[in-house]
Amino acid sequence: MDQERKQVLEMVRDGKLSVDEAQKILDAMNEGDERMRSAASPRRSPRFLRIRVKDEDGSKVNLNIPLSLAKVMMRFVPGDVMGALSDQNMDLDTILEAVREGAEGKLIHVKEEDGDEVEISVE
């Protein structure tokens, strides 16, 4: 989870998040950590919503969002990622609802003829 905390701090540094927004996210991450430690489960539950977008020009976007923060973090998904999802008629709210109901693994994988590719998974 240290990588996710680093990403939040980098977003503050880059001006994408205010200090107050970052604090709320970090607090939620801490609460999620505590809940995960306290819940003893023989089966490891999914912890991340992973969104991968690859453009025909070779540019890539890789987002790893803790499930405990997925709803909050959707406000910060880059516009080009949201555009790519929208172009494929994918609604992140619907995807998150499926995850809350227990969906796991690769949920969506779209590869277009022009080379654009979108993949969403729960791991």
Domain boundaries, the chain: 2-122
DSSP 68: G
Distance CA 108, CA 3 (A): 24
Reported as a pLDDT band with limits 50, 70 and 90, residue 100 is confident
Question: How confident is the model at residue 38, as a pLDDT?
Answer: 56
Rounded Cα gap, residues 24 and 82, in angstroms? 23
**Residue whose structure tokens are 């453009």:** 55
Both structure tokens of 41: 């489960």
Residue 1 has pLDDT above 60, yes or no: no
122 and 105 Cβ atoms separated by less than 8 Å:
yes
Return all residues near 5 (Cβ < 8 A) that are at least 6 apart. Answer: 26, 29
H or E segment to which residue 109 belongs: strand 105-111
The whole-number average pLDDT for the span 39-66 is 74
Backbone angles phi, psi at 52, to 5 degrees: -125, 130
User: Whole-angstrom Cα distance, residue 3 to residue 43?
Assistant: 24
Q: What is the pLDDT confidence band of residue 61, given thresholds at 50, 70 and 90?
A: confident
The mean pLDDT of 64-81, rounded to a whole number, is 77
First vs last C-alpha separation in the chain: 14
pLDDT at 32: 64
Least reliable range by pLDDT among 15-19, 24-28, 88-92, 104-108? 88-92
